[in-house]
Amino acid sequence: MQPSSFTCGHAAFVGAPNAGKSTLLNRLLDHKLSIVTPKPQTTRKKITGIFHDDRSQIVILDTPGIMEPKQSLHESMLETTRQALRDADVIVALIPFAKGEEAIDRKFADELIGRWVKPAGKPFIIALNKSDLVSAETVRKVQEEIQETFSPVATPALSALKGSNVNDLVELIRPHLPLDEPLYPEEMLSTEPERFFAAEIIREKIFLLYGREIPYSTEVTVDEFREQHENDPRKKELIRCSVIVERNSQKQIIVGAKGAAIKKLGQAARADIEEMLGRPVFLEIFVKIRPDWRKRKNLLKSYGY
């Protein structure tokens, strides 16, 4: 490592819900840190992922997708994205390709770059994600158009899902990192604690296992995260969580007939939590009803929004 050529700084990943921001973060870290689902608005809080290589440390800020706010929860999610834009040294705006007549959503691209990215006053890269969904010719055409319209520092096309061109993005980010010393130790993957990611994993499973409005009406809190007993290393760690819903009918859906649904949720979440921690855990999940939690400022605050 040559300290003189080392660079470090913050890169914010922003874009529409479902653009692939969290997938891209995970791909860069080569680790499943941020939760990913096919449903929009999966990420609700800032996720910090730290990329390390010989020449740089990039503190990546994965953010909630930009949307029209409909309740206080959304306002808080957008504020998280605004804060990440303020903290960033360089911005990576993700615009996804889509199959069909319109290769990208141009109207949203105008809003994303015009109302969010440019006003932040930072160097920005427009990453055209999901390039696996369209032809090479479409990719080239859109790249040219985007470069001409918005004048970003670069317009790489990539596929976060397949991993193509992802490493080139590091080269594009690197010149915009202002520090010459790392901010964090080499083995550190995130600044958020394990218990935060335990709650995120349960949220991911809820997004994957339940349909309709359930994922959006649900929050997860970790109420107890008890470390292994000092005198008995075989003793499993206890994680006690609450799944917060808005109505009794939603509680019934979460629990399912004879508790079958919540059992499945617990099994799926426990497997991933154990993989993350590298040790066995007891996972206890309770369901609590908190009417209108998404609109109630003090409740939102207590859930970390």
Ligand X SMILES: Nc1nc2c(ncn2[C@@H]2O[C@H](COP(=O)(O)OP(=O)(O)OP(=O)(O)O)[C@@H](O)[C@H]2O)c(=O)[nH]1
> Would you count residue 57 as binding Mg ion (CB under 5 A)?
no
Query: In the 8-state DSSP scheme, what is residue 294?
Result: T
> Would you count residue 138 as binding ligand X (CB under 6 A)?
no
- Distance in Å, CB of 135 to Mg ion, minimum: 27
How many other CB atoms are found less than 10 A from the CB of residue 197?
A: 23
Distances (CA, A) of 68 to 75, 268, 305: 9, 32, 17
Q: Based on CB atoms, which residue is closest to ligand X, 58 or 92?
A: 92
- Distance in Å, CB of 128 to Mg ion, minimum: 17
Tell me how long the chain is.
305
> Would you count residue 43 as binding ligand X (CB under 6 A)?
yes
> Would you count residue 112 as binding ligand X (CB under 6 A)?
no
> Would you count residue 155 as binding Mg ion (CB under 5 A)?
no
Distances (CA, A) of 25 to 31, 48, 68, 92: 9, 9, 24, 11
> Would you count residue 63 as binding Mg ion (CB under 5 A)?
no
Provide the H-helix boundaries in 127-193: 136-150, 166-173
Stretch that binds ligand X, among 124-132, 206-214, 230-238, 283-291 (CB under 6 A): 124-132
Q: Which does 266 bind (CB under 5 to 8 A by kind): Mg ion, ligand X, none?
A: none
Q: Which does 160 bind (CB under 5 to 8 A by kind): ligand X, Mg ion, none?
A: ligand X
- Distance in Å, CB of 279 to ligand X, minimum: 27
| SS3 at position 191 | coil
Contact pick of 7, 18, 22, 48 for Mg ion (by CB under 5 A): 22
> Would you count residue 32 as binding ligand X (CB under 6 A)?
no
Pairing of strands 219-226, 237-245: antiparallel
Angle of the 194-209 helix axis to the 260-277 helix axis, nearest 10: 140
For 256, the token pair is 């399912």
Contact pick of 23, 81, 217, 242 for ligand X (by CB under 6 A): 23
- Distance in Å, CB of 97 to ligand X, minimum: 8
Contact pick of 154, 161, 209, 268 for ligand X (by CB under 6 A): 161
Distances (CA, A) of 110 to 15, 218, 228: 11, 32, 51
**Cα–Cα distance, 194 to 277 (Å, whole number):** 8
> Would you count residue 81 as binding Mg ion (CB under 5 A)?
no
> Would you count residue 80 as binding ligand X (CB under 6 A)?
no
**Cα–Cα distance, 89 to 59 (Å, whole number):** 10
> Would you count residue 19 as binding ligand X (CB under 6 A)?
yes
- Distance in Å, CB of 81 to ligand X, minimum: 9
How many other CB atoms are found less than 10 A from the CB of residue 35?
A: 23
> Would you count residue 215 as binding ligand X (CB under 6 A)?
no
- Distance in Å, CB of 40 to Mg ion, minimum: 9
Q: Position of tokens 């855990």?
A: 281
Stretch that binds ligand X, among 158-166, 183-191, 234-242, 278-286 (CB under 6 A): 158-166
Q: Which string of DSSP letters, residue by residue, matches 43-58?
A: --S-EEEEEE-SSEEE
Q: Based on CB atoms, which residue is closest to Mg ion, 37 or 149?
A: 37
Write phi, then psi, for 121 (nearest 5 degrees). Answer: 70, 30
**In sequence order, which residues have a C-beta less than 8 Å from that of residue 230 and are 6 or more positions away?**
none
Binding site for Mg ion (CB under 5 A): 22, 42-43
Binding site for ligand X (CB under 6 A): 15, 17-23, 36-38, 40-43, 64-65, 129-130, 132-133, 159-161
